[in-house]
Amino acid sequence: MLQIWVNLIPLCVSGIAWAHDAGLQQNTLQFDLTFDTDPQIGLSEEPWTSKYGAQNDLGYSGPLSFSHFNYKKCLEDASVPFDIGIIGFPFDTTTSFRPGARFGPYAIRSGSRRQSLGAGRGYTLAWGSSPSDYGSSLLDCGDVPISAYDNAKAIDQMEAAYSTLLSRPVFGGTSEVYKEKTRAFSLDGKEHPRIVTLGGDHTIVLPILRALHKVYGPVSVIHFDAHLDTWPPKGTTVQEGITHGSFFAVAAEEGLLTNTSIHAGIRCKMFGMEDIEHDDTVGFQVISTEDIDDYGIKKVIEKIRQRIGDKPVYLSLDIDVVDPGQAPATGTPEVGGWTTREVKRILRGLS
């Protein structure tokens, strides 16, 4: 059985802030917004409640959280434990072509509102179940306030945030169907939360792998992408060498990866076969985009499962694995990608 970690609001007003151009100084006015509630108010007798009941959010209304999940700023509030946490990494300052992925966490949450998983509407015929059927406690942990000016600091912030969430105690399930997933793989023999990260350019995986290594040791990676992302670091400084195209090579140099990782959906331009040869030294095998036409979805799934085996694995999905005709805003588009339906079928086959 594959064990996978993935990279897939009550609002509180506390003040008004003015951010200066450099983003380094902030003045905040604090307001006391605590109000006394009249104990004589009978909500059940008021016009709205007596006629219509609860103030339920619609798919297109309410505070923004992933699929209408409960929302907490988990990095500063540990009051709500969770089995699976969702965290946003709004970061895009190591891209080589088109930036904008910092808006990814917001866009993913906005697009997820139609699902209403937090309201129990998650059953699909394809899966024959709903995410809530598996008994895990789900929580949207908000976004990490990542520096947009200092990449070294930003990468450290992401590692610190991910490590913080990994160290939290799990909720332990919402029903008897819940099963522990991570205890068997963790170095300390404890159950740890699983984290779904919303990016963000693909460099976010490096600090995530660093955080996972502290808990699980080296892990394998299932990498859905049009690009290898294993090119050797280049540049005149250490930080310049860490980009969305080199982070896996850096991770391998740091001993964060096993030698049993795999790409899926590769179709990028390369310098030559030497890129594939170097990719092999980083620990990856390649499934190209065209392989799905030659061998079919089932064979693609079988190859991925065979490569990973029963080892702990991190799954990373770059939106550019999908054809740019369906995902045109991606930062590094490559024609001829998989369809969303094909990617969903493969993911289901890995479950």
Annotated binding site for Mn(2+): 202, 225, 227, 229, 318, 320
Please give the Cα distance from 139 to 65 (Å, whole number). 9
Tokens of 90: 């709004």
The annotation places the binding site at: 202, 225, 227, 229, 318, 320
CB of 337 closer than 8 Å to CB of 324: yes
* Residue 20 CB coordination number (10 Å): 9
Please work out, in degrees rounded to the nearest 5, the angle formed at the alpha carbon of residue 113 by the alpha carbons of 110 and 114. Answer: 125
Amino acid at 27: N
Integer Cα distance of 11 and 88 in angstroms:
17
Query: Exposed, middle or buried, 111 (CB in 10 Å: 0-12/13-18/19+)?
Result: exposed
Helix axes 151-166, 205-216, angle to 10 degrees: 40
DSSP 3-state assignment of 125? Answer: coil
**CB-based contacts of 234-243 (< 8 A; 24+ apart in sequence):** 239/151, 239/152, 242/94, 242/151, 242/155, 242/203, 242/206, 243/94, 243/95, 243/96, 243/203
